[in-house]
Amino acid sequence: MRRRILLTGIRIITRAKRRAIVFVILFTFISGLMLFSLNFVWDAHSTTLLVQSKGIILRPKGFTYVSYDENLEEKLARYDDVEKVVAVWFVNLSELEDLGVNAIMVAVNPDNKWCYVLSESFDLSPSSLREGDYIAREGEIMLSSANVLNISKNATVSLRPSSILKIGKYSFHVVGMLSEDKLPNGGMNWIIAHESDVKRICEKYGLQKYVFGYIVIVEGWLFSGWDNVERVGILLKNEYKDFEVIYASANDNYRLFSPMIVLFAFSVFGCLIVGALFSYLDIRLRKRSLAILRSLGWSTGNLRLLTLAELLFVTILGFFFGLLALAIYRLFTAQIYVPLSVYTVLISFVVIMVSTQVPGGYLYQRSITKVKPVDALRLIER
Amino acid sequence: MSEPLFEVRDVVKRYEKEGREITVLDKVNLSIGLGDFVVIVGATGSGKTTLINILSGLDKPDSGKVYFEGEDMTRMSEEELADLRRENMGFVFQHFNLIPEFTALENVESPLYPTKLSDREIRTRALKVLELVGMTHRVNHYPDELSGGEKQKIAIARALITNPVVIFADEPTAALDPQSEKEVIWLLREINRKRRTTIILATHNRALASSTDKVFELKNGKLVRVSGGRT
């Protein structure tokens, strides 16, 4: 019975074409705004901004890199208040001429991709991706956007996403290109590969491992973890005197964060208003139909379900179009690549549903119980 | 004598109009049996619709009692009255009152949507009553694509789908041409004759009543027997 009433509601709104189109457009716009703002606040925080909020970078003093010390990584991870330690380590493929590739191969773990930010000009996080995808599994690599790789002293090869690069007996699939200005300059060729692949090449050819630095993420909530950051930072400064300790926190990001919060608040407010407007117009324009159904024996609960089904349908449709709009926007115009997480989509969906259905439901509840068939039938006669 | 379907006792209904109180129904008494064809005649504004609304539970009297199959309708809640209407009553209105967003078929099915009947059962019943009123060729048309007579036939089919014991027809022919008027009245009489459905017809046109009907006249708030019944 409920299913039938819900389907009837959907049928009614799809037939009220003009009203449906107007409200789907409104909900698309609002959903798009909400997804956009939450995507930035939430997902960007899990990438670059997270490191800048809770990160400490340990860099060798006076040198750009030193030999990689696995023990140091383990020691850092054992400190209280330390959530995660990620070493940015690499091998220099040109050390072995037999490989025929003149490039630095940096190891990243796709699970930790949000951590790979050492500085503004050394950013291996998804934020610096300009084309293609981030590495998701072994056998995948990313290159600098110059996309020309020296394969020997006198030979180069041009690579694009979907190209295959052979290093010794290993084949790699190019999946993405990183922005050149996010990598240290100096005429280097950069290959960013899965940690397991780099380890395998290291072991196979006996290459030396080097480290650009360690990224230490401390425990604590975003924007409130500063005490922890400072405590751990001081500890590291005292313990590792050969290293430079840099607090990654950058207040600049608050400037981006605030408008996004305002945008989010605006979209919630928009949902409340549009949801209420839809319900108000629905009851006003369809008072007669509701009264006829009431006179035919529909209960107020049945009518409430019918009208809520209409609102639910328009909202869900708007949400999916909003999602689509954001995807299109990201595809053609976005300057910063921030992947949309499932959590963002789910949370946006829940917030939109609650903020439209609650005022809508309240209005329906109030008005439908007031629809007296006899009054409405009298209205028709006039 | 078997228990009457409706028993109306001393029903009074007043309205306020331009600061003056008007008594539309003044101590109305009426008894209607199962299978009766009742015609309530009266001029426009005489209170026919008010009486029908009170009999169907759409409106409540200021005083007096209305019994349906021995149950006091004036003491029922809105939801109980809604159930009672859905299970026992059908309505045919002057302005058809079809839902514009529904097709003819969906309009006919609509009283059964909030029931536990299966979709298939509802569809079968709807097609059956549409066949009875001769409207199977218009099932997928929307109300605004139908003529007045066709709309009223759809409304009759909708009234019939619940197998009601009583159909209230409030000025069902007032908006129709003479040919459609004839067809609609004939249809109501056929339903009354074949199904023993009680028909309560409110009209300003006395000519619609036949010699076998129970005819009452509403005048100055009083219900007066004209023929075939008792008040």
The mean pLDDT values, 10 residues at a time, for chain B of 231 residues are 80 85 89 90 87 89 92 88 86 84 91 89 90 85 89 86 89 81 85 88 82 83 74 45
Say if the Cβ atoms of A381 and B95 lie within 8 Å: yes
Q: Chain B neighbours among A 11-50 (CB < 8 Å)?
A: 11-12, 15-16
Q: What pLDDT sits at residue B1?
A: 46
Q: Give the other-Cβ count within 10 Å of A94's Cβ.
A: 16
Q: Which residues does chain A have with pLDDT short of 50?
A: 251, 335, 382
Helix, strand, or coil here: B204? coil
The CB-side HSE value for A129 (13 A sphere, CA atoms) comes to 25
Model confidence, pTM:
0.64
Of B56, B79, B101, the CB nearest to A16: B101
Residue B89: name the closest of B217, B199, B201 by CA.
B199
In chain A, which residues have their Cβ closer than 8 Å to the Cβ of B97? 288, 292, 295, 377, 380
In order of A157, A324, B231, the CA distances from B14 in angstroms are: 96, 59, 20
A69 CA to centre of own chain: 32
* Whether B23 contacts B221, CB under 8 Å: yes
Of B49, B58, B115, the CB nearest to A295: B58
In chain A, which residues have their Cβ closer than 8 Å to the Cβ of B162? 297
In order of A92, A267, A268, A350, A359, the CA distances from A356 in angstroms are: 56, 11, 9, 10, 6
Distance from CA of A293 to the nearest CA of B (A): 7
Sequence-distant (≥ 6) Cβ neighbours of residue B133 within 8 angstroms: B153, B154, B156, B157, B160, B187
Query: Phi and psi dihedrals of A53, rounded to 5?
Result: -90, -35
Question: What CA–CA distance (Å, rounded) separates A355 from A382?
Answer: 37
Question: What CA–CA distance (Å, rounded) separates A27 from A317?
Answer: 8
Of A299, A374, A381, the CB nearest to B114: A299
Question: What CA–CA distance (Å, rounded) separates A78 from A71?
Answer: 11
Question: What CA–CA distance (Å, rounded) separates A299 from B113?
Answer: 11
Helix, strand, or coil here: A198? helix
The residue in chain A having the minimum alpha-carbon distance to the alpha carbon of residue B110 is A293
B187 CA to centre of own chain: 14
Residues in chain A: 382
**Token pair in block for residue A344:** 């963002």
Question: What CA–CA distance (Å, rounded) separates A170 from A153?
Answer: 21
Q: Chain B neighbours among A 135-164 (CB < 8 Å)?
A: none
In chain A, which residues have their Cβ closer than 8 Å to the Cβ of B204? none
Helix, strand, or coil here: A370? coil
Residue showing tokens 């509601």: A9
In chain A, which residues have their Cβ closer than 8 Å to the Cβ of B116? 1
Q: What pLDDT sits at residue A144?
A: 83
B82 in contact with chain A, both atoms CB, cutoff 8 A: yes
Interface probe, candidates A295, A368, A372, chain B, greatest B C-beta count within 10 A: A295
Say if the Cβ atoms of B58 and A5 lie within 8 Å: no
B95 in contact with chain A, both atoms CB, cutoff 8 A: yes
Of B58, B83, B101, the CB nearest to A15: B101
Whether the complex's predicted ipTM surpasses the cut of 0.90: no
* Whether A332 contacts A125, CB under 8 Å: no
Helix, strand, or coil here: A203? helix
Q: What pLDDT sits at residue B7?
A: 92
The residue in chain B having the minimum alpha-carbon distance to the alpha carbon of residue A373 is B58
Q: What pLDDT sits at residue A222?
A: 59
3-state helix, strand, coil in chain A (%, to 5): 55, 20, 25
In chain A, which residues have their Cβ closer than 8 Å to the Cβ of B110? 8, 293, 296
Kind and range of the H or E element at B189?
Answer: helix B178-195
Query: Phi and psi dihedrals of A142, rounded to 5?
Result: -120, 155
Distance from CA of B1 to the nearest CA of A (A): 31
Distance from CA of A361 to the nearest CA of B (A): 19
Interface probe, candidates A3, A5, A19, A296, chain B, greatest B C-beta count within 10 A: A296
Query: Phi and psi dihedrals of B43, rounded to 5?
Result: -70, 165
Burial A218-252 (b: 16+ CB within 10 A, else e): bebeeeebeebbeebbebbeeebeebebbebbeee
Say if the Cβ atoms of B114 and A297 lie within 8 Å: yes
The residue in chain A having the minimum alpha-carbon distance to the alpha carbon of residue B51 is A374
Say if the Cβ atoms of A1 and B94 lie within 8 Å: no
Q: What pLDDT sits at residue A106?
A: 94
Q: What pLDDT sits at residue A152?
A: 61
Question: What CA–CA distance (Å, rounded) separates B213 from B114?
Answer: 34
A370 in contact with chain B, both atoms CB, cutoff 8 A: no
Question: What CA–CA distance (Å, rounded) separates A291 from B137?
Answer: 28
DSSP state of A105: E
B164 in contact with chain A, both atoms CB, cutoff 8 A: no
